[in-house]
Amino acid sequence: MGERPVLGLIVGNRGGFPQAPVAEGRRLLLDRLEGMGIDVIVLEEGASHLGAVETWQDAQACARLFREQATRIDGILISLPNFGDEQGVADSIRLSGLQVPLLVHAFPDTVGSMGFEARRDSFCGKISVCNNLTQYGYPFSLTEAHTLDPAGAVFEAEIRRFVAACRVVRGMRGARLGVVGTRPNAFKTVRFSEKLLEASGVSVSVIDLSDVLGRVERLAMSDARVGQKLEEIRSYVTVGNAPEEPLVRMSRLSVVLGDWMEQNGLRGAAIQCWDSMQHNFGFSACTVMSMMTNNLLPAACEADATGLVAMYALQLASGQASTLADWNNNFGDDPDKCVFFHCGYWAKSFVPELEFGKHASPALVDSWGTLHGQAAAGPISFARVTTDDRRGEVRAYVGEGRMTADPLDTYGTRAVIEIPGLPRLLRHICRSGFEHHVAMNPGLVADAVEDAFGTYLGWPTYHHDGAGLAGRSAGSVR
């Protein structure tokens, strides 16, 4: 996933409580985080008592250090080996000026070691820290268990979830995404508000499809990149007896889109993939979009910009390619299974045995470029983002499920999906007015995406919990 994550670390301390656990806890935290491949920005032991934060002077020193490393810090871990000083923690963050995710962690006490020299009282101190962060107006994340031993596997899982949320927050704030063309006229479902996305830091650049077509036609066949893209297509999928002309046009489109995205610093694109593309370009863009997505430049069908936002968020969290699907069919009588489908552009990472062919629609019978195949079985996270103009907000839902090995004999790229409590989720989607598209990703990152959306971006987010009686919702603060 590229560069090592960087966390600021605030080790809380409070005079009058045992000091040995602070020194031991700080060392344990640094060892654990280093072992997880995480760089840490923390006060040196000589910069404050035990390298922890308690006093106003400690808070000033910590804030100064964080300001110096501000561009590197993805999030801040607040850890309490003893009760800690809640004001020192909150002042450190306020003085630093950072607006990054915060995770509050407390060490556990041990039954049988509750004498004065061993008892931490971090259990209580965590509540005080959270109270002060709330007073200061800072959203924050929490571990699932109120106290947690950093030596355990659960602590590592919590830190990795938090780091994934940090990646989503950093990536979404200032994200630049593209829209190529306009939505199909019949698809009012994918209308969206650029202004609401902009208010959350997501900027949208647009280009008319006719402009793209013109650039494709003007691109010289002698341009070496066209031949290079043609070879990339042939390496990506077996094209069989497909004629050369649509393959060359795909190659030229790939070059044009790549140039436009690079010139505008775009991290993904929602594309008007039909049916103007087929009628005016003479091919389907599915293969080009599949290759983009497989290379972590997500492409969304039918100019679905908020579908693209969900794809990108899942990709940021997991470091793996996402895709966009229709909630398309029931699967027999199983209430917890359904069919995800698109007419076929999913990334090869989802469908290792892709087949190249024509569009299945009789109206587009001569349109080469679609892909066909069933996704391999495995876990998924899914997500959807929408802009709600009536309420003036961005909303979302997230959850997890799995792609099954149930055979499905049909066309396009597809998967049989199993999601516990699916009927309840579908009722939520319908009653909340969400789109018919959903983003999915092979990483199990729903918790991290929910935290990023709900806690830090302020997007009301429904987290579907198939095991419970109802999903949970995250607002601006968890």
CA-CA distance, 292 to 307, in Å (whole number)? Answer: 16
Q: How far apart are the first and last CA of the chain?
A: 27
Asked if 95 and 55 count as a contact pair (C-beta separation under 8 A), the reply is: no
Classify residue 431 by burial, with Cβ atoms within 10 Å: 0-12, 13-18, 19+: exposed
- 3 state DSSP class of 142: strand
* CATH code that applies to domain 6-172: 3.40.50.10940
Asked if 13 and 51 count as a contact pair (C-beta separation under 8 A), the reply is: no
Where does CATH 3.40.50.10940 sit in the chain?
A: 6-172
Give the pLDDT of residue 1. Answer: 57
Helix (H) or strand (E) holding 207: strand 203-207
Query: Residue 110: how many CB atoms within 10 A of its CB?
Result: 11
Instruction: Report how far Cα 399 is from the mean position of its chain's Cα atoms.
Output: 12
Give the pLDDT of residue 91. Answer: 98
Instruction: Return per-residue pLDDT of the chain as tens, 478 residues.
Output: 568 999 999 999 999 999 999 999 999 999 999 999 999 999 999 999 999 999 999 999 999 999 999 999 999 999 999 999 999 999 999 999 999 999 999 999 999 888 888 899 999 999 999 999 999 999 999 999 999 999 999 999 999 999 999 999 999 999 999 999 999 999 999 999 999 999 999 999 999 999 999 999 999 989 999 999 999 999 999 999 999 999 999 999 999 999 999 999 999 999 999 888 998 888 999 999 999 999 999 999 999 999 999 999 999 999 999 999 999 999 999 999 999 999 889 999 999 999 999 988 877 767 899 999 999 999 999 999 999 999 999 999 999 999 999 999 999 999 999 999 999 999 999 999 999 999 999 999 999 999 999 999 999 999 999 764 445 556 533 3
CA-CA distance, 237 to 461, in Å (whole number)? Answer: 38
Residue of 374, 360, 191 whose CA lies nearest to 270? 191
Q: Is the peptide bond before 388 cis (omega within 30 degrees of 0)?
A: no
Give the pLDDT of residue 114. Answer: 85
Residue of 141, 97, 135, 198 whose CA lies nearest to 454? 141
CATH 3.40.50.1980 fits 176-474, yes or no: no
Query: Residue 280: how many CB atoms within 10 A of its CB?
Result: 10
In b/e form, how buried is each residue of 128-156, taking b as 16+ CB within 10 angstroms? Answer: bbbebbeeeebbbbbbeeeebebeeeebe
Where does CATH 3.40.275.10 sit in the chain?
A: 176-474
DSSP-derived pairing of the beta strands 102-106 and 75-80? parallel
